[in-house]
């Protein structure tokens, strides 16, 4: 299983993944967590944070990517459609 940032990026593009999306007070995407579909609590995942130009705009100023850990509480929102 990949654990480095580079390994996570390389394998996520070829594997089934799950995502958890956080929204800010303006209902804009603030963070997206991406992990393997079988990731459990505390396993490494990618996080992308979106930074906007102002409090009431949807124009992006920057996007930051990094590592985080998956929270199994998010799995309640994860479903697979077949």
The per-residue pLDDT for 75 is: 85
User: Alpha-carbon torsion 35, 69, 71, 31, what sign?
Assistant: negative
pTM value is 0.78
pLDDT at 10: 65
| Other CB atoms within 10 Å distance of the CB of residue 8 | 21
Dihedral pair phi/psi, residue 61, rounded to 5°: -95, -40
End-to-end CA distance of the chain: 25
pLDDT tens digit string along 18-38?
899 999 999 999 999 998 888
Higher pLDDT, 55 or 11: 55
Three-class SS state of 24:
coil
pLDDT tens profile 36-48: 888 889 999 999 9
């Amino acid at each position: 299983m990949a654990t480095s940032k580079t390994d996570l990026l390389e394998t996520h593009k070829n594997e089934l993944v799950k995502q958890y999306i956080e929204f800010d007070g303006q209902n804009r995407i603030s963070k997206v967590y991406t992990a393997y579909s079988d990731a459990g609590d505390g396993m490494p995942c990618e996080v992308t944070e979106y930074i906007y130009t102002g409090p009431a705009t949807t124009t992006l100023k920057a996007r930051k990517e990094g590592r985080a850990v998956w929270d199994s509480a998010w799995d309640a929102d994860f479903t697979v459609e077949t």
